[in-house]
Structure 1
């Protein structure tokens, strides 16, 4: 089945992939959901733009368990400010694109506050900064990859690093092969190739990453 964050209708829905399906099933209602992730135990993680928190859900429940934020909007280590995209690793640590704080936060399982693992130095284009970042991914080594929207680049932050490196883009807005015009999300294949959604150029770009 497909699980979809239906942000405009403030709900999370599930649609069967079987042919002939005509409507979905509401899993979670009354939630300004933005990001979704699922762990290996099939728990669902959802970021809520309005309440500035991330909750973990078992299928069939509508309240969930708080796993990040939930202390009002702000820049404290126990707060979030417009959480968007999520990633959950094998240890069930939750990585959150903390959009308006220009940082990525890592919340270990059961933690009462998060750890800044990228950004957190205000909006900007320095290698220590992010600016309206979007999608993210963490590999098995703990290396973090971030779609840095306003800077039109994909950044890589190794575990414990104080600054990131540019692995794609970073050459301003444009339609060149080394440019983006509104990158939002990305994914890797099993060979390590990077695929980037280049929204403004109406294309998907592939990069070979060393």
Structure 2
């Protein structure tokens, strides 16, 4: 890997289909389609391989505007091509289904209660389909349990039914003493090992199952 090239964006910020503005999250699927959480443009862009012009699939100027985004910061696509997005500015996690987008967790306003989030930045699924959220301004990692009847694994990629739901009340997986202040990045591996970026202590913390 001795060379690199730009696959999305022009180097100048903007709202055109070939531009981005402070992209914050990316996901590449098995077809090498690139999904970008275009943070400051309040949208998610899809770039097909070799294409410089993106398609707005969620948010500002999308073809089917079913939900408004505010600074999307993270994105995951499941095996059925359902999108899951960190809606950073609205402090919630949303997901797509048969009838458009819906709120999944953090649907009760900004706050620190078990059913609330406060400026979450990223999230990840474990191998049981539970959601782990870096609840940044609450200085914690929240775990939201999947309702068991709606999940399967497909080629090591998460696969949900379109009506999958999660418990609205999260469990504190790691508090400030473990996750540090303002945790921003989280990753859960296929063997359920959890990694969190602890900005306060300049470390990456790991939990093994």
User: The TM-score by the shorter chain falls in which range?
Assistant: 0.7 to 0.9
**Alignment check: 8 A CA contact 1:97 1:136 kept:** yes
Equivalent residue pairs, number: 178
Alignment of 1:191-210 (within 5 A): 191-209=191-209
User: What SS does the aligned partner of 1:86 have?
Assistant: strand
Alignment of 1:96-107 (within 5 A): 96-107=85-96
Q: Is the aligned partner of 1:166 residue 2:172?
A: yes
**Alignment check: 8 A CA contact 1:95 1:104 kept:** yes
Aligned to 2:37: 47
Note the aligned Cα RMSD (angstroms): 2.1
How far apart are residue 185 of structure 1 and its match? 0.7
Rate the CA distance shift 1:115–1:140 in 2: closer, same or farther, 3 A: farther
Rate the CA distance shift 1:93–1:126 in 2: closer, same or farther, 3 A: same
| TM score, norm. by length of structure 2 | 0.76
Rate the CA distance shift 1:85–1:149 in 2: closer, same or farther, 3 A: same
Aligned to 2:134: 147
Rate the CA distance shift 1:202–1:50 in 2: closer, same or farther, 3 A: closer
- 1:19-59 deviations in Å (ceiling 9; x for gaps): xx4xx312122201111011122211001123311122112
Structure 2 distance, partners of 1:118, 1:94, is 14
The correspondence for 1:90, drawn from 48, 66, 79, is 79
**Alignment check: 8 A CA contact 1:47 1:85 kept:** yes
Structure 2 distance, partners of 1:47, 1:150, is 20
| TM score, norm. by length of structure 1 | 0.76
Structure 1 distance, partners of 2:38, 2:190, is 31
Structure 1 distance, partners of 2:53, 2:99, is 19
Aligned to 2:189: 189
Gaps of 5+ in 1: 1-16
**Alignment check: 8 A CA contact 1:186 1:197 kept:** yes
> Greater RCO between the two (CA within 8 Å, min separation 6)?
2
**Alignment check: 8 A CA contact 1:78 1:112 kept:** no
Alignment of 1:15-54 (within 5 A): 17-18=1-2, 21=3, 24-29=4-9, 30-32=19-21, 33-54=23-44
Alignment of 1:123-134 (within 5 A): 123-134=110-121
Aligned to 1:7: none
Rate the CA distance shift 1:188–1:139 in 2: closer, same or farther, 3 A: closer
Rate the CA distance shift 1:193–1:140 in 2: closer, same or farther, 3 A: closer
